[in-house]
Chains A and B, each alone.
Chain A
Amino acid sequence: MRSCRAISALVSQGLDKELSLRERFSVWLHVMMCTRCRNFQTQSRFIRKAARRYTDELQSRLSNKP
């Protein structure tokens, strides 16, 4: 079984490219049992969402400036 270090790296890569079937399977198997890696997966997705929204927030903040 792969380590959390390796699984979290795959989780990260999975946000930017299609993982192989074998990789996806090992991630799936691991996060079923590992809370921390599962949290990392959820949080990485959340960070992506926040980052995408950040420019909108920045824009509205800049246009509200006196």
Chain B
Amino acid sequence: MTDTLLTEQTLAAQRPVLFRYALLQLRDSELADDAVQETLLAAWQSAAGFEGKAGLRTWLIGILKHKIADHWRRSAREAVAPIFGRTDEDDGEAEVDDYFMSSGHWNGGPKVWADPEAALKQQEFWTIYEVCQNNLPPKMANVFMLRELVGLDADEVCREAGLSDANYWVTMHRARLRLRECLEIRWFNNTKQEKNHA
């Protein structure tokens, strides 16, 4: 931990995380790859400006965000604002209680899912998964994606999304409750029927 020197290896090790972040925003592998390379190059050139290993990914993602913003400025495609990365406030703060009765018992609640592993191999499942993920309120979706898709640690997500510890736990829990319910309704209870995307 005393070593604050940025080596090529240290930087390259962050590449997968940065790539996933860029891919989710740019939705194009080549563009994402370019943005990550530019980010790593910029980081390497200004390595002296980086202080301490603790916030390395936060620092790199900061640079990456600028590269992505540059891209959107260059291409006039700003209309396609991705859901991921938005940080506006969500409403419906009390909604976790919809899942439980006042006694603390499940209201409805998780049923048994038949063969979830098989679902991962089906294209249709991923369509449903995406619908469910996009149905999360924007801020919640952002936190969930930073943690589970990009792969940041919980404390990195808190820094990135400006969340307190307590808010983080509640947000992640709500995201899981929502995703779970959505997948159950649209996929696991529904595989033999016609999928309704409405």
Show the binding face of A for B, using Cβ within 8 Å. Answer: 3-6, 8-9, 12-13, 15-17, 35-37, 39-40, 42-44, 46-55, 57-59, 61-63
Ranked nearest first, the 5 interchain pairs of A and B with the lowest CB-CB distance are A3-B104, A39-B110, A51-B148, A36-B109, A12-B173
The answer to whether B180 touches A3, judged by C-beta atoms less than 8 angstroms apart, is no
The answer to whether B169 touches A63, judged by C-beta atoms less than 8 angstroms apart, is no
Of B29, B144, B180, the residue contacting A40 (CB under 8 A) is B180
The answer to whether A40 touches B129, judged by C-beta atoms less than 8 angstroms apart, is no
Query: How would you classify the secondary structure of chain B's contact residues: helix, strand, loop or mixed?
Result: helix
Of A9, A55, A62, A63, the residue contacting B149 (CB under 8 A) is A55
The answer to whether B112 touches A3, judged by C-beta atoms less than 8 angstroms apart, is no
**CA of A56 to CA of B173 in the docked complex: distance in angstroms?**
24
Q: Which residues of A sit under 8 angstroms from B147, Cβ to Cβ?
A: 16
The answer to whether A47 touches B183, judged by C-beta atoms less than 8 angstroms apart, is yes
**CA of A8 to CA of B176 in the docked complex: distance in angstroms?**
10
Q: Which residues of A sit under 8 angstroms from B55, Cβ to Cβ?
A: none
Chain A residue, CB-CB nearest to B119: A50
Chain A residue, CB-CB nearest to B28: A62
The answer to whether B29 touches A50, judged by C-beta atoms less than 8 angstroms apart, is no
Q: Which residues of B sit under 8 angstroms from A8, Cβ to Cβ?
A: 106, 173, 177
The answer to whether B133 touches A44, judged by C-beta atoms less than 8 angstroms apart, is no
- CB B188 to nearest CB in A, in angstroms, measures 9
**CA of A5 to CA of B106 in the docked complex: distance in angstroms?**
7
Q: Which residues of B sit under 8 angstroms from A63, Cβ to Cβ?
A: 29
The answer to whether A12 touches B104, judged by C-beta atoms less than 8 angstroms apart, is no
* Chain A CB within 10 A, most for which of B27, B130, B172, B176: B176
B6 interface residue, CB < 8 Å from A? no
The answer to whether A54 touches B109, judged by C-beta atoms less than 8 angstroms apart, is no
The answer to whether B144 touches A39, judged by C-beta atoms less than 8 angstroms apart, is no
Q: Which residues of B sit under 8 angstroms from A40, Cβ to Cβ?
A: 109-110, 180
Q: Which residues of A sit under 8 angstroms from B23, Cβ to Cβ?
A: 55, 58-59, 62
The answer to whether B176 touches A47, judged by C-beta atoms less than 8 angstroms apart, is yes
B120 interface residue, CB < 8 Å from A? yes
Q: Which residues of A sit under 8 angstroms from B151, Cβ to Cβ?
A: 52
Interface residues of B in 132-157 (CB under 8 A from A): 133, 144-145, 147-149, 151, 154
